[in-house]
Structure 1
Amino acid sequence: MKTWLLASAATLALTMASSAQTQDIPDNMEKLQGMQSTGTSMDFQTIEQSGEYADQLKRNLEQVELPNGFKIELYAVVPDARHIANGPQGVATFVGTRKQNVWVVTDRDKNRVADEVKEFAPSINFTIPNGVCFSDDGFLYIAEQNRVLVLPAAEFFYESPDVAVGVVTPQGELVPESEESFNHTARVCRIGPDDRLYISLGQPYNVPPKEKEDLYAEVGIGGIISMNRDGSGREVYATGVRNSVGIDFDPNSGNLWFTDNQVDGMGDDIPPGEINMASQKGQNFGFPWYGGGSVRTEEYKGEEIPADVVIPQAEMTAHAADLGLDFYNGTSFPQKYRGGIFSAQHGSWNRTDPVGARIMFTPLNEDGTAGEPEPFAEGWLTDSGEYIGRPVDVAVMKDGSLLVSDDLAGALYRISYEN
């Protein structure tokens, strides 16, 4: 294991960023990396977990349909809840947003309902801290719009507004500043079986102009990149990905699986969403030549398709907006679900009749390929076409239950199974 991973939190915070990297970052970041107090108030934001709002969310869940034996309950009220990272020790859950907050959720009495939701690390100014992920040894990574941070032992040191922090990728270096966009910049991250950090980099266009092709291929925009956990050794792992907002590794094969949101404006029923599998570095998944599945884009229909394009493992309903996914590695769900993929469909905006707003399950075949996806939890989209919730991410808890985030309602739900 690398020496820096064995270092104390204090040593890590002092050494993660060079003096050149810290010259242009905010004063608080410099202080935190020097293990200095920032003077941030201890009276930071907490979220009420009871009352009329929570009661209404519980009533809304009565409309969610699940297979026999399963139930869904409100776990926590979490504003703008997006991607989820469960601490490896089961102490706390961290939730990213597309705004400026990361939330930490704690179930102190272990009654499977959160007791406390509060702002995490308010001394740090985050920008779209959507991507949160843990290493097995307890380091929390936060992939922002254009920066990556690491917070050692975050699961045990979240009570203070000041935290030990290291800069993995400095501000403005995840993508070129010229490519910073308001669109498709909600990053997601995972630590791979090779102990490297993987981050998806959505490209900002519906279909990018041809003049961006070389730059995007070089940087990994419209793809997935990997790097050592200290930010060194950056590589482009996969290309031809329009905007993946969900990645995870199969614990059995080690292959990287990911969702991909496909091209808008081509019609209600095309192109399909995708679940893909990357089995090795350097694979191309077909965008922008394909808008999704085998559907060609108008912009690139006259272009020659790369010979090595990898087809999707599974095609999903067009414009359902497939986002976060997680392999089910628990044991409390029936055998059917073990080793398969749960994924969240956020729901469509670019469709005459909206679809999605549900949790899907995709089994894996004996050879490790995807079986047929099927709805698992649905009802956040009413018969009248009204959204009462929009699922974003899923995460398996240590007890085998499944957390679901919802950025419309601002909540985490817990799905459990009872014989």
Structure 2
Amino acid sequence: MKSALIALFLRSLNSLPRRLHRGLHDEPSHKRDPLERRRSGLGGFRPPILAVLMLAIALPASAALPVERIRLPPGFHIEVLSDEVPSVREMALSPNGILYAGSLDGHVYALELRDGRVTARHVIASGLDDPAGVAWHDGALYVSAVSRILRYDAIDSHLNDPPKPVIINDKLPPEHHHGWKFIAFGPDGKLYVPQGAPCNICKPDPDRYAMLGRMDPDGSHYETIERGIRNTVGFAWQPGNHELWFTDNGRDLLGDDVPDDKLNHAPRAGMNFGYPYCHGGDTSDPEFGKEHPCSDFTPPAVKLGAHVASLGMRFYTGSMFPSDYRDNIFIAEHGSWNRSKKSGYRVVRIITNPDGSSAHQEVFAQGWLMPDESTWGRPDDVLPLSDGSLLISDDYAGAIYRVTYAAP
């Protein structure tokens, strides 16, 4: 009975304005910890009375996330690492075991980890402009905030008194449409920073939008390296050969089943992946497609499915999971918003040969999307830990999950 009431309550939250789920509130975001605002009244929104009564009956404090609904391969187990990270997005881990998390509610979080558990939680930045991306490099945390890249030096030792950030670049495009950014340092020591198209479909400046760029750690020498990318929200480098792979979200409003989101493989700089002329590798754009055929562009390594919203991705290099998972790519699928039947809302793994050939996907974790098409979570990033477990962030639930494995 208790779990049923929790599920009903969570479904009722789907009817609330999206503003609540993004963690935006009437009070300015820099005034208070968003978790405290959430505890003190759901940021000013009042859910339906029936849902409130159900919640009071089921759990006097707060509703536990129904992780038992997540289906995984045999031997795998998922648990909630933390449900105190509102609107969480990209994650990054420091060598000292500090887990940093960006968000879409203006805050950057730090979670101290020990033995797979959170021992302390900190808000290290507030009032930022969609600080979704975080990357660790040489003792500092880098944060993307739409038009700016910020650096927090020696942050591990200053979690309670964060330093004033160094602005390393403040000349990125200011548009919010595809403007928040996943960021990462590559094997070349450069910070990779994408810029999505400022629209669903348009023909923007190819050196400024719909591209992936990189810069030196001090923000200098920013250059475009790959083009024709509508919006990448996850990329990583293949172990061994250090070749780049990245997700790319397909355009909307062409139909339920076209075009596919893509996993792209870029073994060298200077490639073009088709936007805005070609989508999914084989779908010519009705407005711009006549200018260039799909054969002019690099095809995807894997078609991920239409509107699944493929976001964060990482290669798994740990030893906890079975050996056939090693060097697989894990991808978080945030889920569709404009499809008559929802898709995504899961984590998939990509199996590929060392040379990148014969790549194909399998479902790894699913259950955030219910049979009645209500949802209680939306995965948006994945991150392997040094112990071999895998973290999954979920902005909808404001949670981070930890997946472990023990032979059945």
TM-aligned CA deviation for residue 307 of structure 1: 6.4
Question: Which residue in the other structure is 2:70 paired with?
Answer: 64
C-alpha contact (below 8 Å) 1:47/1:117 kept by paired residues: no
Question: Which residue in the other structure is 2:191 paired with?
Answer: 197
| Corresponding residue SS for 1:395 | strand
Give the gaps of 5 or more residues in structure 2.
1-30, 40-57
Question: Which residue in the other structure is 1:153 paired with?
Answer: 154
Equivalent residue runs for 1:196-345 within 5 Å: 196-208=190-202, 210=203, 212=204, 216-219=205-208, 221-305=209-293, 308-345=296-333
2:119 aligns with one of 115, 127, 130: 115
C-alpha contact (below 8 Å) 1:46/1:118 kept by paired residues: no
C-alpha contact (below 8 Å) 1:199/1:225 kept by paired residues: yes
C-alpha contact (below 8 Å) 1:273/1:293 kept by paired residues: no
Identity, % of aligned positions: 35
1:73 aligns with one of 72, 79, 102: 79
C-alpha contact (below 8 Å) 1:121/1:158 kept by paired residues: no
Asked whether 1:95 is paired with 2:104, we answer: no
Sort the Cα spacing of 1:46 and 1:187 in 2 relative to 1 into closer, same or farther, 3 A. Answer: closer
Mean alpha-carbon deviation: is it higher for 372-381 or for 361-370? 361-370
Q: 1:171-227: CA deviations, max 9, x gaps?
A: xx012xxxx32311120111111111101111121111x4x3xxx2232x1010011
Query: How many angstroms apart in 1 are the aligned matches of 2:367 and 2:105?
Result: 26
| Corresponding residue SS for 1:252 | coil
C-alpha contact (below 8 Å) 2:133/2:180 kept by paired residues: yes
In terms of fraction of residues, the more strand-rich structure is 2
Query: How many angstroms apart in 2 are the aligned matches of 1:46 and 1:351?
Result: 31
| Corresponding residue SS for 2:158 | coil
Query: How many angstroms apart in 2 are the aligned matches of 1:371 and 1:363?
Result: 5
1:182 aligns with one of 176, 179, 199: 176
TM-aligned CA deviation for residue 144 of structure 1: 1.2
Question: Which residue in the other structure is 1:169 paired with?
Answer: 169
Query: How many angstroms apart in 2 are the aligned matches of 1:397 and 1:54?
Result: 30
| Corresponding residue SS for 1:258 | strand
Give the gaps of 5 or more residues in structure 1.
1-42
TM-aligned CA deviation for residue 374 of structure 1: 0.7
Query: How many angstroms apart in 1 are the aligned matches of 2:64 and 2:193?
Result: 32
TM-aligned CA deviation for residue 370 of structure 1: 5.3
Question: Which residue in the other structure is 2:341 paired with?
Answer: 353
Query: How many angstroms apart in 2 are the aligned matches of 1:358 and 1:261?
Result: 15
Runs of 4+ that moved beyond 6 A: 48-51
Sort the Cα spacing of 1:306 and 1:374 in 2 relative to 1 into closer, same or farther, 3 A. Answer: closer
| Corresponding residue SS for 1:342 | strand
| Corresponding residue SS for 1:184 | coil
TM-aligned CA deviation for residue 47 of structure 1: 4.2
Query: How many angstroms apart in 2 are the aligned matches of 1:150 and 1:308?
Result: 39
| Corresponding residue SS for 2:63 | helix
TM-aligned CA deviation for residue 299 of structure 1: 1.2
Query: How many angstroms apart in 2 are the aligned matches of 1:293 and 1:388?
Result: 32
TM-aligned CA deviation for residue 273 of structure 1: 0.8
Query: How many angstroms apart in 2 are the aligned matches of 1:306 and 1:293?
Result: 6
Give the TM-score taking structure 1 as reference length.
Answer: 0.81
Question: Which residue in the other structure is 1:20 paired with?
Answer: none
Question: What do you get for the CA RMSD once the two structures are aligned?
Answer: 2.1
